[in-house]
């Protein structure tokens, strides 16, 4: 089976320069901090967790990324820049805890796979698999969330929408919400963009994009055994024409482990 991750298709459709290594480190650290913040908030036995503890985890992850950056390229980020980043992270985490998302029971689910299977290909040897993992899933509200650390505007908004639409293939009939952050006179405010469930035409168009990407970008495509792709995860199947086929859950819930606590 030919496989790839959602972000690889997004980068192909909406290419960006990854020259801002500090910005990338910020995004990764913020994602991990918010993920743990939501996890511990949803487990009442752990007690109240707010932005202050989340900031500690953010700085732990951010400094680890800076250490890797220095080891790999010799780049040393000035202390003043680190202080500036910490201030922005604190304001963004505080803004996040004021959102409706923070008050919901929404967690990061293990990665799903969107499968395109051809008629008669029972073993899925000729199938295509796209791995999809949105930032958070609200199973009760049937909604997925994707968080961006930048304002949702212009080409960045279109890029984020496209990524969320691809994630919706893995969550049939779910709506999606994008959360960005906009700075106004030194104050950071959350910014939501709501997307309705996919229409049949949108599904057809996205499945066509997946098929085209898998066929024309062999350098970015991996070949994996279908058994390995489907094991211990939810798979959502479509025909090459975008017709939904089935949703199968191969998750081994007895072997499921709680989210790694890490440093908090």
Average pLDDT of the chain is 88
Q: In this structure, are 176 and 95 located in the same domain?
A: no
Kindly state the tokens that stand for 177.
């919400």
| 262: phi then psi, degrees, rounded to nearest 5 | 65, -150
pLDDT tens for residues 143-172? Answer: 999 999 999 999 999 999 999 999 999 999
Q: Assign residue 218 a region: left if phi > 0, alpha if psi is -120 to 50, beta otherwise?
A: alpha
Residue 261 has pLDDT above 50, yes or no: no
Number of compact structural domains in the chain = 2
User: What was the pLDDT predicted at 244?
Assistant: 93
Q: In this structure, are 77 and 29 located in the same domain?
A: yes
Q: Of residues 253 and 91, which shows the higher confidence score? A: 91
How many Å apart are CA 134 and CA 112, to the nearest integer? 9
Rounded to an integer, the average pLDDT of 114-122 is 82
Domain extent for 53: 17-103
Residues 205-242: b if buried by 16+ CB within 10 A, e if exposed: ebbebbbebbeeeeeebeeeebeebbeebbbbbbebeb
Query: How does strand 234-238 pair with strand 112-116?
Result: parallel
Q: In this structure, are 95 and 22 located in the same domain?
A: yes
User: What was the pLDDT predicted at 44?
Assistant: 58
Rounded to an integer, the average pLDDT of 13-33 is 87
Q: In this structure, are 178 and 115 located in the same domain?
A: yes
Share of the chain above pLDDT 70, in %: 92
Q: In this structure, are 96 and 159 located in the same domain?
A: no
């Amino acid at each position: 089976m030919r496989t790839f991750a959602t972000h690889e298709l997004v980068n192909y459709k909406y290419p960006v320069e990854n020259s801002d290594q500090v910005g990338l480190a910020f995004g990764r650290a913020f994602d991990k901090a918010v993920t743990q913040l939501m996890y511990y908030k949803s487990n009442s036995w752990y007690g109240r967790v707010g932005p202050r503890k989340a900031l500690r985890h953010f700085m732990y992850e951010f400094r680890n990324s800076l250490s890797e950056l220095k080891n790999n390229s010799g780049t040393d980020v000035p202390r003043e820049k680190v202080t500036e980043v910490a201030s922005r992270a604190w304001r963004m985490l505080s803004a996040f805890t004021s959102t409706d998302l923070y008050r919901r029971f929404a967690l990061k689910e293990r990665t799903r796979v969107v499968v395109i299977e051809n008629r008669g290909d029972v073993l899925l040897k000729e199938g295509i698999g796209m791995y999809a993992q949105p930032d958070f899933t609200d199973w009760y509200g049937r909604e997925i969330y994707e968080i961006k650390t930048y304002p949702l505007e212009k080409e960045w908004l279109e890029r984020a929408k496209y990524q969320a639409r691809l994630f919706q293939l893995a969550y049939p009939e779910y709506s999606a919400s994008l959360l960005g952050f906009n700075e106004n006179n030194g104050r950071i405010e959350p910014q939501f963009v709501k997307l309705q469930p996919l229409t049949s035409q949108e599904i057809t168009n996205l499945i066509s994009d997946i098929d085209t990407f898998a066929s024309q970008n062999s350098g970015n495509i991996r070949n994996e055994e279908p058994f390995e792709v489907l094991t211990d995860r939810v798979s959502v199947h479509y025909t090459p024409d975008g017709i939904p086929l089935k949703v199968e859950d191969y998750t081994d819930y007895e072997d499921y482990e709680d989210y790694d606590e890490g440093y908090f």
